[in-house]
């Protein structure tokens, strides 16, 4: 490692990676925020809106595992440098779309950028943080991302309202360019040696399948959690607008959802340091689903509040499950992270297309009911499969 790399402490590296997560994920809610606008102005159906959301999921499903494999084979920080730049350009041009084809193209660019950053971003924590502090480091990384997501809808609206529309991509790309320069100067290498140098270079398919076999019981819970979480973010803006709410109300509730979701994982990770990761997950999943069911069964302001609380609560166990996966694959941390974050997040995004079709056919409330009950399906996995993997604490 270079002198610049050695000069940085573990905490500083975690802080830099967490800041990068913020810069990358500050564009997360652009699609959610402007989706009702696109539905209205481009004349889209709920199914077409679901396809837009699913497209980003397809990209994450395919691209994150590829980038996780690439990141594990190299020591340079190229993915975390260039990913946020592409994400900023794509997301900031979504509201400028004049056709459905253009919207699909901008979502694709945004998805590729976000998918490029995440595997190396989170996987690098396992190389820079002590094992006993990994879950907390992941929670800080998650806090950076959720902080970005928290202000994302407000940031999106501010860019759209207070700047010329043509200038949105120019302004949005400035923070990622600064971030790339900082990484290039201060973190020229993520770790000292690559698998090629250690004689442990395997093909991508073999690598992915090997890691997946280790972590699949955790991944199964994660995919159900992600489907519910993505469903909430997909349906909540549409539900608000269908009841006469404005885009400002959409932004406010998405802000509340993201703000709560940025705080709860940090609290849960601190508790998990004492109680263990497994126990905290087993508490959070059914509790969050209960809040969502209450939101589904009620109406008006109470319903929206319960949906926000449930949607935010279900994110609280993210650091615990991600740390568990890295512990089961300590030699392939970026690959494990890509499968936990990308493959699950991506498939959850893909699921938004059939959810959109179901919403067209059965209505928003019926779709919300499906989303609310999904996390309960993970309970048999946690209580039957986890003990077989030795996941008891």
Question: What are the pLDDT digits (tens) for 217-276?
Answer: 888 898 999 899 889 988 888 888 888 777 778 878 888 887 888 788 888 888 887 888
Q: How far is CA 272 from CA 35, 45, 311, in A?
A: 36, 43, 20
**CA–CA distance, 239 with 367 (Å, rounded to integer):** 11
Instruction: Please count the other Cβ atoms lying within 10 Å of the Cβ belonging to residue 220.
Output: 18
Rounded to an integer, the average pLDDT of 271-298 is 89
Fold that domain 3-389 belongs to in CATH: Growth Hormone; Chain: A; (1.20.1250)
Whole-angstrom distance, CA of residue 237 vs CA of residue 170 = 27
- Of the candidates 300, 393, 348, which has an alpha carbon nearest to the alpha carbon of residue 57? 348
* Average pLDDT score over residue span 318-338: 80
Can you tell me the distance from the alpha carbon of 140 to that of 108, in angstroms, rounded to the nearest whole number? 28
pLDDT, one tens digit per residue, over 112-126 is: 998 889 888 887 887
Local confidence band at 370 (pLDDT 50, 70, 90 cut-offs): very high
**Looking at 14-136, which runs of residues are DSSP E strands?**
none
Question: With contact defined as beta carbons under 8 Å apart, do 313 and 259 qualify?
Answer: no
Terminal CA-CA length for the chain = 35
Question: What pTM did the predictor assign?
Answer: 0.68
User: So what's the pLDDT on residue 3?
Assistant: 38
Measuring CA to CA, how many Å separate 376 from each of 287, 311, 314, 381, 389?
A: 9, 14, 11, 10, 21
Can you state the percent helix, strand and coil of the chain, rounding each to 5?
85, 0, 15
State whether the Cα torsion 87-322-122-11 is positive or negative: positive
How high is the pLDDT of residue 109? 95
- Return the pLDDT at 299: 84
Which of 234, 182, 215 has the alpha carbon at shortest distance from 77?
Answer: 182
- Greater confidence, 335 or 21? 21
Is the pLDDT reported for residue 287 higher than 90?
yes
Instruction: Break the chain into its structural domains and give their ranges.
Output: 3-389
Higher-confidence residue of 333 and 364: namely: 364
Confidence at residue 23, expressed as pLDDT on a 0 to 100 scale:
94
- Who has greater pLDDT, 50 or 236? 236
Q: Does residue 10 register a pLDDT over 70? A: yes
What integer is the mean pLDDT of 83-94?
94
H/E stretch holding 229 reads helix 204-242
Contact 126, 326 (CB under 8 A): yes
The DSSP code for 9 is -
pLDDT band at 7 (very low <50, low <70, confident <90, very high): low
The pLDDT value recorded for residue 191 is 62
Residue with more model confidence, 127 or 195:
127
- Per-residue pLDDT, 257: 85
Give the whole-angstrom CA distance, residue 316 versus residue 320. Answer: 8
Which of 88-92, 182-186, 208-212, 298-302 is modeled with the greatest confidence? 88-92
- Of 64-68, 159-163, 169-173, 319-323, the range with the lowest mean pLDDT is 64-68
Rounded distance, CA 32 to CA 49, Å? 10
Rounded CA-CA distance 283/275 in Å is 11
1 pLDDT above the threshold of 50: no
Q: What percent of the chain has pLDDT over 90?
A: 24
Task: Please tell me the least confidently modeled range out of 36-45, 251-260, 337-346, 361-370.
Answer: 337-346
Provide the pLDDT for residue 201.
58
pLDDT in tens, 151-192: 888 899 899 888 898 899 999 999 999 999 998 888 767 665
Residue 289 has pLDDT above 50, yes or no: yes
99: left (phi over 0), alpha (psi -120 to 50) or beta: beta
């Amino acid at each position: 490692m270079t002198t610049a790399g050695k000069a940085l402490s573990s905490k500083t590296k975690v802080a830099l990676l967490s800041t990068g997560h913020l810069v990358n994920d500050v564009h997360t809610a652009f699609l959610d925020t402007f989706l009702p606008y696109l539905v209205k102005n481009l004349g889209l159906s709920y199914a077409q809106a679901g396809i837009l959301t699913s497209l980003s999921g397809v990209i994450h499903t395919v691209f994150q595992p590829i980038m996780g494999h690439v990141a594990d084979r190299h020591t340079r920080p190229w993915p975390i440098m260039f990913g946020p730049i592409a994400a900023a350009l794509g997301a900031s041009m979504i509201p400028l779309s004049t056709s459905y084809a253009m919207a699909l193209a901008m979502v694709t660019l945004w998805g590729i950028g976000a998918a490029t950053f995440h595997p190396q971003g989170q996987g690098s924590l396992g190389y820079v943080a002590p094992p006993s502090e990994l879950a907390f480091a992941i929670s800080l990384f998650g806090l950076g991302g959720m902080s970005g997501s928290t202000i994302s809808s407000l940031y999106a609206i501010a860019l759209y309202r207070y700047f010329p529309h043509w200038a949105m991509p120019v302004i949005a790309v400035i923070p990622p360019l600064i971030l790339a320069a900082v990484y290039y100067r201060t973190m020229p290498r993520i770790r000292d040696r690559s698998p090629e140098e250690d004689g442990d270079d395997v093909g991508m398919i073999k690598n992915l399948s090997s890691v997946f076999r280790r972590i699949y019981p955790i991944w199964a819970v994660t995919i159900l959690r992600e489907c519910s979480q993505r469903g909430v973010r997909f349906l909540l803006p549409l539900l608000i607008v269908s009841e006469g709410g404005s885009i400002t109300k959409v932004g406010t509730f998405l802000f509340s959802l993201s703000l709560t979701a940025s705080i709860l994982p940090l609290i849960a990770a601190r508790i998990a340091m004492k109680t263990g990761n497994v126990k905290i997950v087993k508490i959070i999943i059914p509790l969050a689903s209960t809040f969502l069911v209450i939101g589904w069964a009620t109406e008006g302001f109470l319903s929206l509040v319960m949906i926000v609380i449930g949607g935010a609560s279900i994110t609280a166990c993210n650091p615990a499950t991600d740390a568990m996966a890295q512990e089961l694959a300590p030699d392939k941390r970026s690959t494990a992270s890509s499968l936990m974050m990308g493959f699950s997040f991506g498939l959850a995004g893909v699921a938004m297309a059939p959810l959109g079709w179901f919403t067209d056919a059965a209505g928003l409330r019926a779709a919300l009911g499906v989303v609310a009950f999904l996390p309960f399906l993970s309970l048999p996995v946690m209580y039957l499969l986890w003990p077989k993997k030795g996941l008891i604490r």
